Structure 1
Amino acid sequence: MATISIFYGSVYGAAERLAETLSAHINELGGSAKLVDNPQVEDIIAAEQILVVTSTTGQGDLPDNILPLYLSLQEQFPLLGAKPCAVIALGDSSYGETFCGGGRQFEELLIELQGKIIQPRLDIDAMVDFEPEPVALPWVERLVAQS
């Protein structure tokens, strides 16, 4: 079973807490997960499977802690060779067209880098689901079952 490397972008801590919960849950399920702090392009290249968990800030932008990775990936453009990838996007639908924009941007970049999206992006709406875990845990269980 491939190790799932979890990369997170968080402004107020919700996406980071969710990433930590998902990492623990994956390991409890018998899978293998690791959180990647201060991620670099080399961490994406070395990952067996990529899971990005990110909130959205500003006008559909990525949080400051994951933006440098995103920009470095755009600049260096390392082809991922169909590496398994998945994205969980946190947002607030009251922001209209920018809802979950950070997650959408990251997923689009992974596709451009020839990553293979193995499960449809999960968009979690803070207007509907105050706590993201009840929505994300079943989704990640399906992800682990595919790994």
Structure 2
Amino acid sequence: MTKVTLISGSTMGSAEYVAEHMAEILEELGYETDVQHGPDLDSLPNEGLWLVVSSTHGAGDLPESIQSFAEEIEAQSPDLSNVQFGSVGIGSSEYDTFCGAIHKLNALLQDHGAKKIGETLEIDVQQHEIPEDPAGEWVKIWANEL
């Protein structure tokens, strides 16, 4: 059974809810999942499949819950070439920095060798009151790309 590690960064909890919802769908599709909210780099496998979900805080910033994870990657410069990942951003199109956090995380992971699978889903809370809905549809498509 293929395992997907879901990593969330959230300020108000929306990314956590989205990650948990996608984990349920992935399990229904036959995947094993491990959901980690604001993990430390050492708690994650340095290979396999990651699915990163992050809201955007402030002016395109990472939520506090995932800042230390990003800082650890920058400081330790791990080899992530055995990691493949997908990504989901949550934000508001009212801001110029719409989904800025997930773009920063994508670049950070790719700069350290991780390979991105599929397109990033950008959920606009102005259009989707319940961000779990578009995420649930997207993750089914993403799983088909694995």
**Band of TM-score, shorter chain:** over 0.9
**How far apart, in 2, do the equivalents of 1:88 and 1:30 lie?**
21
* Structure-2 change in CA distance of 1:50 and 1:130 (3 Å): same
**Corresponding residue SS for 2:63:** coil
Is the contact made by 1:8 and 1:52 (CA closer than 8 Å) also made in structure 2? Answer: yes
Is the contact made by 2:92 and 2:124 (CA closer than 8 Å) also made in structure 1? Answer: yes
User: Which TM-score applies when normalising by structure 1?
Assistant: 0.93
* Structure-2 change in CA distance of 1:43 and 1:146 (3 Å): farther
The answer for the alignment partner of 1:73 in structure 2 is 73
**Corresponding residue SS for 1:89:** strand
Is the contact made by 1:44 and 1:50 (CA closer than 8 Å) also made in structure 2? Answer: no
The answer for the alignment partner of 1:18 in structure 2 is 18
Residue 42 of structure 1: how far off its partner (Å): 2.2
* Structure-2 change in CA distance of 1:63 and 1:38 (3 Å): closer
The answer for the alignment partner of 2:95 in structure 1 is 95
Task: Letter of the 2:104 partner, please give it.
Answer: Q
**How far apart, in 1, do the equivalents of 2:37 and 2:100 lie?**
22
Task: Letter of the 2:145 partner, please give it.
Answer: Q
**How far apart, in 1, do the equivalents of 2:93 and 2:2 lie?**
33
- Give ranges in structure 1 of 5+ residues lacking alignment: none
CA deviation digits over 1:89-124, x for unaligned, max 9?
00001012x110111100010110111101111110
**How far apart, in 2, do the equivalents of 1:115 and 1:44 lie?**
13
Residue 38 of structure 1: how far off its partner (Å): 4.6
Task: Letter of the 1:36 partner, please give it.
Answer: Q
The answer for the alignment partner of 1:126 in structure 2 is 125
Is the contact made by 1:3 and 1:31 (CA closer than 8 Å) also made in structure 2? Answer: yes
What is the aligned-residue RMSD (CA, Å)? 1.4
* Structure-2 change in CA distance of 1:125 and 1:38 (3 Å): closer
Task: Letter of the 2:121 partner, please give it.
Answer: L
**How far apart, in 1, do the equivalents of 2:110 and 2:46 lie?**
17
User: Which TM-score applies when normalising by structure 2?
Assistant: 0.93
- Give ranges in structure 2 of 5+ residues lacking alignment: none
CA deviation digits over 1:50-81, x for unaligned, max 9?
11100000110011111100111111111111
Moved over 2 A (4+): 42-47
- % identical equivalent positions: 31
